[in-house]
Structures are given as C-alpha cells and as structure tokens.
Amino acid sequence: MEEKKKRIFSGIQPSGDLTLGSYMGAIKNWVALQDEYDCLYCIVDMHAITVRQVPADLRKRSLEQLAQYIACGLDPDKNIMFIQSHVPQHAELSWVLGCYTQFGELSRMTQFKDKSQKHADNITAGLFTYPVLMAADILLYQADLVPVGQDQKQHVELCRDIAQRFNGVYSDTFTLPEPFIPKMGARIMSLGDPSSKMSKSDPEGCVYLMDSPDAVARKFKRAVTDCETAVRFDPEQKPGVSNLLTIYCAATGKTLAETESAFAGQGYGVFKPAVGDAVIELLRPIREEATRLLGDKAYLESVYRAGAERAARLAEKTLRKVYKKVGFVAK
Ligand code: TYM
C-alpha cells in the first residue's frame, strides 16, 4: 500500500516583486520537495495588507506571483496553489488561535519589532497579530513541514507553541510543523549593505526574479565587498564576498570549496561579474516563462480557482474540528 505523503505549506507575501532572497530561501526548496510531499503553496495577500498597499498593485502582483511560482518549476497539477483571501477559513481559524496566543509571545517577535520601527506611524493590530494568521495558514492544513528562510523560523516556532497549547487543552487537533531551512541560501543579504537582509523594499540591494540581464549584471558589479581581493568565505570578516559566494553556490549547485578554488587569485573584478552571469542564467528561463504565462490570464485564473477549491475542502475539515472542540454549536 502506498504510504500517505507528508504535507507542506508555505507562502510569500505579494507585498513586492519576488526576489532572489525568496527564491533561494524558499521557492527553490518548494520545487525540490514537490514530488516527495503533498504541497500547498499560497500567495498570502492577507498578510500583505499588514502594511499599507496600493490596491491595484497588490492585485497585479498577486497574479504575477502565481505566474512566477509556476515559472520557477512548481507544477499546478502536483501542488495546490492558491490565493489566501480566497479561502476564508484562514481568517476564521486565525481568530480562534488568537485566543490561545499570549500578548507577550507576539511582543517578542523580531519581525514585529523591525516592522513597527519601519512603519512607526502605522503600527496596526494586524501587524501585531500577523504570526497568528501565519499559524492558522500552517495548522489548517495539518502541515508537517514549512520550507522558509531563516527569518521565518521564529514564526514557525510560535506556530508550534500555539498548536501544542491547543492540543494540550483539547486533545490532539493539530500536527506540529517543523521549519525546513536550506543549508545554502537561508539568509541572502543585500548587495548594497551585506549587514542587512535582501528585501523587496530596497531596489538597489535586491535582485528581483523579473530583473533584466542588464539590471542583474549592474547590481552585481556594484555589490559592496571589502578592500581585500581574496574570494574566501568568512561571513564575519567578509560579509559581502561571503554573500556573493552563497548566491553563486545556490545558483550553480557548486560547493563553497569548489568555488573558492575556482576563483583563487582572480580578484573581485572577475568574481563579481561571474556571480552576475550565474544569476542571469538562473533567472532567464524563469523570466521568460513567467512573461509567457502572464499573457494567459484564463489559465492563471483556472489554477488559482481550482487551488482555492481544493484548499478550502482541506481547511474546512480542520476548522470544523476546532469549532467543535472549543464548544461552538454545529450549524
Ligand atoms: P516573506 O514574504 O517575507 O518571504 C517569503 C519567503 O522568502 C524567504 N526570504 C528569504 N530567504 C533568504 N534570504 C532572504 N533575503 C529572504 N527574504 C525572504 C522568507 O524566509 C520566506 O520563506 N510570513 C511569511 C509569509 C507567510 C508564510 C506563511 C510562510 C505567511 N504565512 C505560512 C510560511 C508558512 C513572510 O513574510 O515571508
């Protein structure tokens, strides 16, 4: 008898264009894991509105993100791909889970601390309770594994704590999820400032999946390094070069040792454009396929509609169980 596959859930906010950081930290693993697991990959638009968005841009980017997921190699026949706001059970479970989450726990989330500094004039309740919605995303589908970059580890750990607490009060209800973080590429740094994470809100330090080859080449040529010349992995002393080495290895599949010896004695003038070329070749087929898919809106619509239907069926099962356990009267 065929063993039941384990389940994966992950998502990305359409709050900006997809970046090389998200690709290397998350999507690359999603593609690698899609055969072995039963996967749901979501466009988490409800998370995106925790900071102010331009509505027309959010709508456009959500669709572009779906096209880019597929172009990166995610097969819509194998995976459930959908838009979060199309499955209302996310918001419903989030409310319940919020009643099993401590104010103190949410106050300790580093992403909340960072974002509330960045958006000091608009620190909303949504920004604060964001990790509860993320826990609902994961727990609704009884996910075993959550492939994410390093920065999301704390949120997945909180999700486990919430699940464990709920299970403790009401008996086993939720599967406890594990974060799955890549060895290479878990935290890609900004090309302009290697002490901060590559993020979609920093256009010069950030490479977008849809950037033209010229733009990619320019960004890598300008990447901040140090005043030595040795291509050596040393994140403490040489954060810029180490970041470029990580990107090169994640883009080509080569090891750090191979790469260091390939560029030994060659200096940054050779190394930086070579990293740019590796990324250009990585992104070329993705950009071309995403552009083609965006011309076929009917197809994209059929993917997200079918995805939402399948997701909602799974989500409803968990939500009914939860409503019953907490004592709500059945409909
Ligand atoms: P988001 O949208 O900020 O990022 C999407 C994914 O990309 C990873 N990532 C990076 N990895 C390496 N280096 C970087 N510079 C980099 N930048 C981003 C992130 O770790 C993430 O895996 N809260 C989540 C979205 C979310 C989610 C979920 C994820 C909502 N619900 C449920 C998993 C499961 C977020 O803001 O990711």
Angstrom distances, CA of residue 63 to CA of 60, 74, 213, 218, 302: 6, 15, 23, 28, 12
Indicate the DSSP class of residue 187. Answer: S
The helix/strand/coil state of 105 is helix
The pTM of this model reads 0.97
Which neighbouring-strand residues pair with 41? 10, 81
Q: Is the CB of 134 under 6 A from ligand 1?
A: yes
Report residue 243: phi and psi, to 5°: -65, -45
- C-beta of 68 in contact with ligand 1 (< 6 A): no
> Which residue is catalytic, options 28, 197, 219, 272?
197
Question: Which of 152, 184, 199, 201 most suits a substitution to test ligand 1, by most atoms within 8 Å of the C-beta?
Answer: 152
pLDDT tens digits for range 16-46: 999 999 999 999 999 999 999 999 999 999 9
H/E element, 41:
strand 38-43
Is 156 a pocket residue for ligand 1 (Cβ < 6 Å)?
no
Mutate which of 9, 15, 18, 22 for ligand 1 pocket (most atoms within 8 A of beta carbon): 22
Q: What is the pLDDT of residue 4?
A: 86
Identify the active-site residue in 28, 200, 219, 272: 200
Q: Quick one: pLDDT at residue 1?
A: 54
Q: Which pLDDT does position 204 carry in this prediction?
A: 86
pLDDT on residue 58: 98
Query: Does any ligand 1 atom lie closer than 6 A to the CB of residue 197?
Result: yes
Taking the centre of ligand 1 as the mean of its atom positions, its distance from the CA of residue 317, in whole angstroms, is 26
Distance in Å, CA 11 to ligand 1 centroid = 7
197 is annotated as an active-site residue: yes
CA pair distance 71, 53, nearest whole angstrom: 25
Is the shortest distance between the CB of 178 and ligand 1 below 6 Å?
no
Residue 113 a catalytic site member? no
pLDDT < 50 stretches in the chain: none
Examine the residue annotation and report whether 324 is marked as an active-site residue of this protein: no
The predicted structure's pLDDT at residue 2:
59
205-208, Cβ contacts within 8 angstroms, sequence gap of 24 or more: 206/19, 206/20, 206/21, 207/19, 207/20, 207/279, 207/283, 208/17, 208/18, 208/19, 208/20
Query: What residue's CA is closest to ligand 1, atom 9?
Result: 22
Asked if 132 and 98 count as a contact pair (C-beta separation under 8 A), the reply is yes
Q: What are phi and psi of 82, to 5 degrees?
A: -155, 170
pLDDT of residue 119: 86
Burial 63-87 (b: 16+ CB within 10 A, else e): bbbbbbbbbbebebeebbbbbbbbb
- Ligand 1 center from residue 138 Cα (angstroms): 13
**Pairing relationship of beta strands 80-83 and 145-147 according to DSSP bridges:** unpaired
